[in-house]
A and B are shown apart, each in its own frame.
Chain A
């Protein structure tokens, strides 16, 4: 959460999207409310329409950095945040 607030929230060149794999919407909602998630979420029943079905991981949590055209640029939390910072350094 701190990393999101520091590096992503006010960075216009990158956005973080949470894809919830909770089948139980109430469980997802309770968790998000408890943690006060600041990022947009795609719920389980919207994954196909969101296009993220093509990027589904084998296990969670999983982080991927995608270009706006859908190319996977990095994977894994540390690598994703580092690459995002590197790629958007001049734009922030």
Chain B
């Protein structure tokens, strides 16, 4: 398994786990700050997933963050995720199961945020999936 796959799998497994790197994050223009814990990082989609105060997971573009935060993710992000994943069981790995393996691929899942769909990653490693086929018509 190459390093990128290992890091991606580790970060996915950590999405629903306990405290990792709680810190104050700042928007790119410096006008807003928020508290949150780093939960996942994707170099491919250039997104970061943060567990916000209140328990909501949010995934957004790294470019929306301040230079300090971007540097933090670049230098420390993967180290933190890897360190926190040490000892996690392989059973929780999304790559090990038929359904989650496909859903964990970049770009497969989306979720409505406001008026439009945004990229989404599984926040659980479930044993079962309720698949709801439907359409607006």
Contacts and interface: CB of A to CB of B under 8 A. Distances in A.
A57 B133 contact: yes
Contacts of B128: 13-15, 65-68, 73, 84, 87-88
Contacts of B102: 49-51
Interface in A66-83: 66-70, 73, 80-81
Nearest to A27: B136
A49 B109 CA distance: 11
Given A12-B16, A36-B112, A42-B109, A62 B133 contact: yes
A60 B136 CA distance: 10
B19 interface: no
Contacts of A14: 126-130
B134 A68 contact: no
B135 interface: yes
A35 to B, nearest CB: 8
B129 A68 contact: yes
Interface of A: 8, 12-22, 25, 27-33, 36-37, 39-43, 46, 49-52, 55-57, 60-70, 73, 80-81, 84, 87-88, 91
Given A19-B131, A70-B99, 5 more contacts: A29-B115, A49-B108, A61-B132, A64-B131, A66-B99
19 contacts: A15-B126, A20-B134, A31-B136, A33-B116, A36-B112, A40-B110, A41-B111, A51-B103, A55-B131, A62-B132, A63-B131, A64-B131, A65-B128, A65-B130, A68-B127, A69-B97, A69-B99, A73-B128, A91-B127
